[in-house]
Amino acid sequence: MIEIPEYIRKEIEKLVKELNYHNYRYYVLDSPVISDEEYDMMLRRLKELEEKWGYILPDSPTQRVGAAPSEKFEKAEHREPMLSLDNAFSIEELRDFDTRVKRLLGINDEIEYTVEPKYDGLAVELSYKDGLLYRASTRGDGYVGEDITQNIKTIKAIPLRIEGVEKIPEEIDIRGEVYLNIDEFERINKERIEKGEPVFANPRNAASGSVRQLDPSITASRRLFMSCYGMGYVKGAEFYSQIEFIEWLKEARFPVPAYIKLAKGIEQVIGAIKEIEQLRQGYPFETDGAVVKVNSFELQRKLGTKTREPRWAIAYKYPAHQGITKLKEILASVGRTGVITPVAILEPVKIGGVTVSRSTLHNWDEVERKDIRVGDYVIVERAGEVIPHIIGVVKDRRTGEEKKVKIPEHCPVCGSKTVREPGEVAVKCINFNCPAQVEERIKHFASRRAMNIEGLGDKTVELLHNIGIIKHFVDLYRLRQEDIKGLPGFAELSSRKLIEAIAKSKKTTLSRLLYALGISQVGEYASKLLAQHFRKLEDLYHIKAERLVQIPQIGEKTAKTIEQFFNNEENLRAIEELKKMGLKVENPEFEEEKKPSPLKGLTFVITGTLPKPREEVKEIIEKAGGKVSSSVSKNTDYLLVGEEPGSKLAKAKALGVKTLSYEEFLKMLE
Ligand code: IVH
């Protein structure tokens, strides 16, 4: 093995610990204490050291990505079956559950229950041995699931190592739900619409589709979360109740349900369920119910399970929120990349306390498939109580006056002819200067995850674009306070703040800028990849697709759109303008191209005295990409033989390892 200096080993270990902690602050607590850029810098340093010294800890954040796509998922057996839940659709059924529990236990006193939101995703089991995550699996049929370890490791909220607690079981299987937040679900669907791919029906399908991917890099590109709520097999530690276990999970830095209440008796359970019903309106994820569990593990064991469900838990389902209303109009809305999507304008209707007056229809095929016509009475459902969906038409209420809508042949904004690529669902306006696209591009450019111009929201962009002071995102940097002061909503202070925020955004990172440019197919993930492979923006000017597809995760279609973008002089001029106006782009993500490495992948062992000190020779080998090991094995490629060789020579001969003189070695370097 290569001797790794103590101080380097320490630095690597410290970086892993710190990065994992910051990861936890960001993804689990949602309260980071360092900037993304600082995080990226630390990660980059860790990568450098790991590569140079070959010392990679199993819980290093670099081990979350980078696994190659596989052919199929291996089977994964659960040591304790993963059960499903019985449902209660009314408060009455909930009371029946409580009565049943008391009867089975022979207890008259109030039972202690926990109440948690029911996450709508897919159940996953995380298996830890000596605190390290070694396997993750889907539920499957409850007994045997699929091994999805590589995919699950890409979810940053999931600890690769159990830390922060004294009690670390020898082995433990932790269960929870992997899910997507609603905004991420919408982002994925938007991207799919733009790519002409079919949309996911709901966040649960999208989460499941994202996890059950043979290519982990696709999973990595979706912002998945997990909420841990249960325990399977455990060895070497004891837990006594659900509430205690969740507390332990929390301390051990696992993401846990957004709400958990210990309720004594069914009345308190009902209270908690009502509380969640209010709270869930504000949750970023979908919940269609609450899960009630007997708190004590001992009582859980006494109650036992039926074939598929435990007798100690039940899922209370909130009534589905539906309404019927008249569809007044189907608008065609033009997005940033020119994709035209149908939007349903509804007669306002109250569903579950919220007034719904519009709903997206995803694409024109869906309108046709569901045979939705203007003037129809439609059934609207707030799926997960957040996104309104049209689930169908009340055909009995048709009068014959309803009108079918046609797929727009012209862009509703600029009037140019629309196109639809064969085999794709997306209908597009291909006029790059279409005002609708321009406006959307500016909104995107300014948005939080792009240039992050604080205070420049969609409404302000619409205003500035409408009155004509901004025709391109470059114009943002030409704005002066006088231009905006006095506009609706802009007094002295707010106009100054906006100008300051615009100025502040000039200092940015390459990945943010690439994302902000709004290149078709290039989301945040692809932007990060590009930033890793290109030192500066100018390296992308006039780039060819052939060069881009060399980046493993970039497909041909994306490469083509990037080529088009950076071979369009107008785009390059816009970027040059941005630079002239003071844009400063840093790139903390760039990974230095490897220097020529003639010995790459080769392992050497040295024996005897060489013309140069051994340490020096070792350094030469390493600089040329090779490795030096201290003992000969079948993995050794060459034994470098000096004067008075030791026993290693005999061993090398016995194993058939090639030997080299120092002169031969020097030739090899050339
Ligand atoms: S407990 C034996 N807690 O709902 C107990 N499940 O419909 C099983 N789920 O298979 C799970 N949120 O995938 C539990 N807080 C929560 C949950 C939850 C969502 C899922 C889980 C389960 C399904 C049953």
Task: Please tell me the distance between residue 179's alpha carbon and the centre of ligand 1 in angstroms.
Answer: 12
Considering only CA atoms, which of 252, 94, 87, 106 is closest in space to residue 169? Answer: 252
Task: Please tell me the distance between residue 509's alpha carbon and the centre of ligand 1 in angstroms.
Answer: 41
For range 264-289, the mean pLDDT: 92
42 lines ligand 1 (CB under 6 A): no
Active-site hit among 14, 52, 75, 118: 118
Q: For 86-131, how does the pLDDT look when each residue is reduced to its tens digit (9 = 90+)? A: 999 999 999 999 999 999 999 999 999 999 999 999 999 999 999 9
Measured distance CA(203)–CA(181) in Å, rounded: 7
Measured distance CA(90)–CA(97) in Å, rounded: 11
For range 585-602, the mean pLDDT: 77
- Predicted confidence (pLDDT) at residue 193 exceeds the cutoff of 80: no
Residue-level pLDDT at 506: 96
Is 118 an active-site residue? yes
Name the average pLDDT for the chain.
Answer: 91
388 lines ligand 1 (CB under 6 A): no
314 lines ligand 1 (CB under 6 A): no
DSSP class of 502: H
Considering only CA atoms, which of 612, 609, 657 is closest in space to residue 631? Answer: 657
257 lines ligand 1 (CB under 6 A): yes
**88 DSSP β-pair partners:** 316
- Predicted confidence (pLDDT) at residue 132 exceeds the cutoff of 70: yes
Per DSSP bridges, beta strands 377-383 and 322-334 are: antiparallel
Residue-level pLDDT at 217: 84
Task: Please tell me the distance between residue 496's alpha carbon and the centre of ligand 1 in angstroms.
Answer: 50
Q: Domains of the chain (ranges plus CATH)?
A: 6-64 (1.10.287.610), 87-317 (3.30.470.30), 322-415 (2.40.50.140), 435-586 (1.10.150.20), 603-669 (3.40.50.10190)
Q: How confident is the model at residue 595 (pLDDT cuts 50, 70, 90)?
A: low
Measured distance CA(461)–CA(455) in Å, rounded: 10
Residue 69 C-beta-side C-alpha neighbours within 13 Å: 10
**471: its two tokens:** 């025709």
589 lines ligand 1 (CB under 6 A): no
What beta strand segments (E) does 50-164 contain? 75-77, 87-88, 112-119, 122-129, 132-138, 144-146
Contacts of 469-475 spanning 24+ positions with Cβ under 8 A? 470/442, 471/438, 472/438, 472/442, 472/574, 473/441, 473/442, 473/445, 473/446, 473/516, 473/574, 474/574, 474/577, 474/578, 474/581
Q: Which atom of ligand 1 is nearest to the CA of 118?
A: 12
**What is the share, in percent, of the chain residues with pLDDT greater than 70?**
98
Task: Please tell me the distance between residue 385's alpha carbon and the centre of ligand 1 in angstroms.
Answer: 19
Considering only CA atoms, which of 635, 632, 628 is closest in space to residue 665? Answer: 628
- Predicted confidence (pLDDT) at residue 313 exceeds the cutoff of 80: yes
- Predicted confidence (pLDDT) at residue 386 exceeds the cutoff of 70: no
604 lines ligand 1 (CB under 6 A): no
Q: Which atom of ligand 1 is nearest to the CA of 305?
A: 2
Q: Which atom of ligand 1 is nearest to the CA of 175?
A: 11
CB 121 within 8 A of CB 204: yes
End-to-end CA, the chain: 25
88 lines ligand 1 (CB under 6 A): no
Output the pTM of the full model: 0.70
Measured distance CA(492)–CA(632) in Å, rounded: 75
- Predicted confidence (pLDDT) at residue 2 exceeds the cutoff of 70: no
